[in-house]
Amino acid sequence: MGILPRSARASRRGDATGASRLTFRVALCTVLLAGAVAATADAHRPIAIDEPHPSRDEALLIEDLDVSQVAYVELTAVEPEFWLVFQVADPVDVDFSLGVPAIDRLSGYRPTVTLIGPDGADAEELAFETSSVEAPERFHEPFTGTDSWILLQETTSLSEPGTYYLVASAASEAADKLWIAVGTREAFGLADVLSLPSIVREVRAFHEVGFEGPSRREWAGLIAFGLIAVVLALCVFGQSD
Q: What pLDDT does 120 receive? A: 85
DSSP letters for 210-235: -TT-S-HHHHHHHHHHHHHHHHHHHH
Q: What pLDDT does 172 receive? A: 94
Q: Which residue has the higher pLDDT, 25 or 123?
A: 123
The string of pLDDT tens digits covering residues 74-116 is 999 999 999 999 999 999 999 999 999 999 999 999 999 999 9
3-state DSSP call for residue 16? helix
Is the per-residue pLDDT at 198 higher than 90? no
Q: Decide which of 1.20.1640.10, 1.10.3260.10, 2.60.120.380, 3.10.129.10 is the CATH code for 45-187.
A: 2.60.120.380
Say if residue 143 is exposed, middle or buried (CB neighbours under 10 Å; 0-12, 13-18, 19+). Answer: middle
d(CA 169, CA 207): 18
In what side-by-side order are the strands of the sheet with 81-88? 60-61, 81-88, 162-169, 112-117, 124-128
pLDDT > 70 fraction of the chain, expressed in percent and rounded: 66
Q: What pLDDT does 20 receive? A: 52
Q: What pLDDT does 194 receive? A: 59
- pLDDT band at residue 33 using 50, 70 and 90 as cut-offs: very low
d(CA 107, CA 22): 54
Number of alpha carbons in the 13 Å side-chain half-sphere of residue 110: 11
